[in-house]
A and B are shown apart, each in its own frame.
Chain A
Amino acid sequence: MSDPPIHAEGLVRAFAGTPVLAGVDLVVRGGEAVVLLGPNGAGKTTLLRILALLLRPGAGRLALFGTDAGAAPPALRRRIGYVGHESLCYPDLTAAENLAFYARLFDVPDAAARIAELIGWAGLEAAARRPVRAYSRGMAQRLALARALLHGPDLLLLDEPFAGLDPEAVAALQHRLGELRAAGHAIVLTTHDLERAAPVATRLAILHRGRVAWTQEGAPEPVVVAAAWQAVVVGRA
């Protein structure tokens, strides 16, 4: 059996002495889509940034695809696609230029065709030659998603990926994530919008006070999730 894309044990992280993650255990296998829920400040973004190798955990062990994340070799980064709260795209470059830049960094083969395909998928054909500075929130988010998918990562880490998207873009993203999951890619996404994330989820987890406080395998049942939220978050508030 191949190594899981994510194998995290006891991840701990604090900022200026304030603990944010207090021992997160998480294993995500290929073909899984884990949706992380949690109140503001639960540590979702911090966890995702650690998984994207942007932050180091203060303690704990993280292996990605069987490789110790502490070493973080460039080849490991090639297998990860990350969408953060911001687009990670240069405002003075156009969408096509941003994607071309990242295609060079990721050494994407046949980059021009791949960029054209993703710009089409993101519905940005008409705006592809405009500077990103002129984009709306939703357009910037679609570009951020296209950027994360550009190099065909095996592991997708998406922080609030549905934020700012119109219903058409939400459906396109859900469809794409479904395809990727079916093809064996692993997905971890954080959201406050369970309704939009539910169609792609194979597992649900609630992160609270820096720990995975509740998990459920399979498609989420809203009633069950609401009860869990009530017990885990509201009950322990």
Chain B
Amino acid sequence: MRGALAILAKDLRIEWRTRESLASVFVLGVLLLVVLTVAHDPTPEAAPALAPAVLWVSFVFTGLAGIQRGFLLERENDCLAGLLTAPVDPADIYAGKLAANVILLAVTQGVVVPLAGLFLHADLWPVLPGLFAVLLLGNVGFAALSTLFAAVAARTRARETLLPLLLLPLALPLLIAAVQATEAVLAGGLGAAREAVAVLLAFDVIFTVAGWLLFAYVVRD
């Protein structure tokens, strides 16, 4: 766990210093939110119904941009070799990168969600605990899968193209469940989202464990 914590602290320090991911992710998130809202031009009554889809479309694209950047850090100056020559289990490297990505996505969500509430006239305050739980579950699943695939893509020349091609088809069940769960939470609370939450939970467990186990094969030659 020592290695995972060191990698997490290092990634957060670099992000805090450069703010490269946060800046691009923030701008992209707000832009998507505005474009999607303006394109639909909903009435104030119909607008809240758009919130789940708008939120998750924003998270997917901003998440892709942020997570990709997280692995490019390791390519510069061959830093990944530095990690791999250290006495650290590759699973710990995965855990550290995953934790950093979850935090990055959470910060993005922390900015995009209130703005979505504002633009789409959705009163999020009463459903905040349930919404927080769904966002966290979706966040962990998306980060688990994309951390693994970002490591695969980072080793290739066509990394910008490859990551979405690898990630999005597999993330589809997660995204459908996340949209359904968000919809149910906004309509009536977490209790109404039981099935979708179960899918999110299962996805999180499966892909976190898969990433933990497979990461060594992905990063090592």
Contacts and interface: CB of A to CB of B under 8 A. Distances in A.
Interface of A: 49, 52-56, 74-78, 80, 82, 84-93, 97, 101-102, 104-107, 131-132, 140, 147
Contacts of A76: 87
Listed from nearest, the 9 A-B pairs whose CB atoms lie closest are A88-B82, A74-B87, A105-B86, A104-B6, A86-B78, A78-B87, A77-B87, A55-B221, A86-B77
B78 A106 contact: no
Contact of B79 (A78, A88, A97, A106): A88
Nearest to A148: B85
A68 to B, nearest CB: 16
A78 B87 CA distance: 6
Given A74-B87, A90-B73, A106-B87, A101 B81 contact: no
15 contacts: A53-B85, A55-B221, A56-B220, A77-B87, A78-B87, A84-B78, A89-B77, A90-B73, A92-B14, A102-B86, A104-B2, A105-B6, A105-B86, A107-B87, A132-B77
Given A104-B6, A107-B2, A54 B81 contact: yes
Contacts of A85: 78
B19 to A, nearest CB: 11
Given A88-B79, A92-B14, A106-B86, A101 B221 contact: no
B17 interface: yes
Given A88-B78, A88-B81, A90-B14, A101 B87 contact: no
Interface residues on B, range: 20 to 34
A140 B3 CA distance: 24
A97 B17 CA distance: 12
Given A90-B76, A93-B10, A93-B13, A54 B86 contact: no
B87 A91 contact: no
A17 B17 CA distance: 43
Contacts of B205: none
Interface in B1-19: 2-3, 5-6, 10, 13-14, 17-18
Given A89-B79, A105-B86, 18 more contacts: A54-B221, A56-B220, A74-B88, A74-B89, A82-B85, A85-B78, A88-B82, A90-B77, A90-B79, A92-B18, A93-B17, A97-B13, A105-B2, A105-B6, A105-B83, A106-B87, A107-B2, A140-B77
A179 B129 CA distance: 62
A75 B87 CA distance: 6
A82 to B, nearest CB: 5
Nearest to A56: B221
Contacts of A78: 87
Contact of A88 (B2, B13, B14, B77): B77
A207 B84 CA distance: 26
A101 B79 CA distance: 12
Contacts of A75: 87
Contacts of B13: 93, 97
Contacts of A132: 77
B92 to A, nearest CB: 9
Contacts of B73: 90, 92
Given A92-B18, A93-B13, A107-B2, A54 B85 contact: yes
A162 B77 CA distance: 17
A105 B14 CA distance: 17
A211 B201 CA distance: 53
B131 to A, nearest CB: 34
Contacts of B18: 92
Contact of B84 (A54, A101, A147): A54
A105 B81 CA distance: 13
Contacts of A90: 10, 14, 73, 76-77, 79
B78 A105 contact: no
B167 to A, nearest CB: 25
Nearest to A90: B79
A49 to B, nearest CB: 8
Contacts of B76: 90-91
Contacts of A56: 220-221
Contact of A80 (B6, B79, B85, B88): B85
A170 to B, nearest CB: 22
Contacts of B79: 88-90
